[in-house]
């Protein structure tokens, strides 16, 4: 029978993420950044911090899996008119379609757990772009190469 630290090994997390070591990755949209925390294996989803400046909008999109969003700072206004501020939590079920914008004077930072993909929609509901664990990881690795910094292994096994 194991004792001490060895006895706790089975109960410890597989990985502890040091988010201070992960850079904010700028998006194609100025004022929008992501900080990846975990990419789930088999393209199942990802966890990230999302930062957006006041006045920016998240365009119309659909979730193929569930999303959990916890606002850390700033305020966003959902397409339904609801205001989501610091400490507020939003659950979005698979298939949810929405858009939202950042309101107020403070950047919004939210912790997102995204299962599946985010599909950005165009006219007639056509999918214009998809954000997946694979695409988010590729953007992170590309940014690290450009900055000449080694990427951390953020992939779930």
Q: What does residue 120 show for φ and ψ, rounded to 5 degrees?
A: -85, 130
Assess if residue 154 is contained within a domain: no
Assess if residue 98 is contained within a domain: yes
Assess if residue 99 is contained within a domain: yes
Query: Residues for the chain: how many in total?
Result: 157
Mean pLDDT by 10 residues, the chain (157 residues): 56 63 92 96 95 97 98 97 98 96 98 97 94 95 95 86
Assess if residue 156 is contained within a domain: no
Residue 11 · residue 126 · CB < 8 Å: no
pTM of this prediction? 0.87
Assess if residue 125 is contained within a domain: yes
Question: Number of folded domains in the chain?
Answer: 1
Helix ranges restricted to H, 79-129: none
Q: Which domain holds residue 136?
A: 30-147
Assess if residue 21 is contained within a domain: no
Q: Give the per-residue pLDDT at 11.
A: 59
Which CATH number covers residue 35?
Answer: 2.60.120.10
Assess if residue 135 is contained within a domain: yes
Q: Give the per-residue pLDDT at 20.
A: 81
Instruction: Name beta bridge partners: 129.
Output: 120
Instruction: Name the CA radius of gyration of the chain, rounded.
Output: 17
Q: What does residue 134 show for φ and ψ, rounded to 5 degrees?
A: -65, -45
Residue 151 · residue 141 · CB < 8 Å: yes
Assess if residue 108 is contained within a domain: yes
Q: Give the per-residue pLDDT at 149.
A: 93
Q: Give the per-residue pLDDT at 156.
A: 81
Q: How far apart are CA 66 and CA 105, in angstroms?
A: 29
């Amino acid at each position: 029978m194991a004792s001490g630290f060895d006895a706790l090994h089975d109960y410890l997390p597989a990985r502890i993420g040091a988010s201070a070591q992960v850079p904010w990755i700028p998006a194609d949209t100025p004022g929008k950044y992501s900080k990846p925390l975990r990419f789930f294996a088999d393209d199942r989803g990802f966890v990230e911090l999302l930062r957006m400046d006041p006045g920016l909008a998240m365009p119309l999109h659909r979730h193929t899996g569930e999303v959990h969003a916890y606002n850390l700072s700033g305020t966003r206004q959902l397409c339904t008119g609801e205001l989501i501020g610091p400490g507020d939590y939003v659950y979005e079920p698979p298939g949810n379609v929405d858009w939202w914008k950042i309101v107020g004077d403070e950047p919004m930072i939210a912790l997102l757990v995204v299962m599946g993909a985010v599909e950005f929609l165009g006219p007639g509901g056509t999918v214009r772009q998809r954000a997946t664990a694979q695409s988010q990881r590729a953007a992170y690795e590309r940014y690290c190469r450009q900055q000449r910094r080694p990427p951390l292994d953020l992939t779930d096994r």
